[in-house]
Amino acid sequence: MAGHDFWTTGRRKACFLLLSVLLGLAFPAEWAGAEEGVLRIGYQRSSTLMALLKASGRLDQALVAKGVSLRWLEFTSGLPMLEALNLGNVDVTADVADTVPIFAQAAGAKLTYIAEEAVSPEAQAVLVPAHSPIKTLADLKGKKIAVTKAAGSHYLLIKALASAGLDFKAIQPVYLTPADGRAALASDKVDALVTWEPFVSSVARQTSARILADGTGLANYKRYYLTTPNYAEHHAPVLDALFAQLEETGRETKAHPQAAADILAKLWGIDAETVEQANSKRSYRVGVVTRDGLGEQQRIADAFFEAGLLPKRIDTQDVSIFTPQAP
């Protein structure tokens, strides 16, 4: 049995690493191993609620009484965070788009959903240059479109094309990070960019790009916080505290948008007005994940598979869900 477990784990890691290489993803230069009494959190610069918690020190304060300290590890995008989670190099991930755990599952990751942020369809969009002749989604046929692989915006592109009677093969995808996608759009190297907030607002405000369509009626765009079944089983009080802090920070971000924008502007290098506009498109309503709620995950997974973008069919119910207890 031990040999079977070893090879199963080895194949899973190899599959995940291969998928990550194929997607052109980057990882932190240094990873620390598991350490008792330390919660290792993977996050991105654009991880709004985690960024606010990190800046305020409130999560540190909530966990110190439990004898737990924090270690923060920054990633360039969501899938590398889940790779690190799968390999045991982080314990918890900040929010990732609904698409990301689907690709992680396809690579063999075992996941536990900690929390979700409610739908924010307006927080993703298809943008074109102000001078572009593209007026409708149907006009995207044959065009070069910048998008980030496995991101929520990748799914938005699939659905946007389908709404115009086009399949994914009707366009020329150019897989880029949001920053590189913005540069490509500004230099007319691509015809359109599909991305998420705060990049949508930043690109629209600073380059005069035009929003052709957002996710309304196309892609609901939830975001999820994740861990492993093993961590959830053995560290429930830590996850309870994390859930409570995320929930409270989400409420405060919506109740005091300018204060949140002022903090995030310094962290992101974006002016506060743009950050506030971007945050207005996000729900930041943190809640418990439910089995019924994962039904949308299955539809997303099936759409990627049918478009030839996911290597195999998956069952999105083949995960565990953490149920927080009131502190």
Q: pLDDT tens digits, residue range 217-249?
A: 999 999 999 999 999 999 999 999 999 999 999
Cross-strand partners of 223: 97, 117
Fold category of 121-214 in CATH: D-Maltodextrin-Binding Protein; domain 2 (3.40.190)
d(CA 81, CA 53): 18
Q: Tell me the domain boundaries of the chain.
A: 2-25+34-116+222-321, 121-214
Lowest mean pLDDT among 29-43, 122-136, 266-280: 29-43
pLDDT at residue number 247: 98
**With 70 as the cut, is the pLDDT of residue 17 above it?**
no
Q: What is the pLDDT of residues 98-143, one digit of tens each?
A: 999 999 999 999 999 999 999 999 999 999 999 999 999 999 999 9
Average pLDDT, the chain: 91
Burial of 56 (0-12, 13-18, 19+ CB in 10 A): middle
d(CA 137, CA 156): 12
Per-residue pLDDT averaged across 280-287, rounded?
98
CA 116 to chain centre: 11
Establish whether domains 2-25+34-116+222-321 and 121-214 are of one fold.
Answer: yes
Per-residue pLDDT averaged across 52-57, rounded?
97
Give percent above pLDDT 90 in the chain.
85
pLDDT at residue number 33: 53
Q: What is the dihedral of CA 203, 204, 209, 211, to 10 degrees?
A: 120
Fold category of 2-25+34-116+222-321 in CATH: D-Maltodextrin-Binding Protein; domain 2 (3.40.190)
> What does the block give as tokens for 312?
């195999």
pLDDT band at 34 (very low <50, low <70, confident <90, very high): low
**Residue partners of 288: CB distance under 8 A and separation at least 6:** 115, 116, 321, 323, 324
CA distance to 60, 203, 276, 277, per residue, from 270 (Å): 26, 11, 10, 11
Per-residue pLDDT averaged across 307-323, rounded?
97
**With 80 as the cut, is the pLDDT of residue 1 above it?**
no
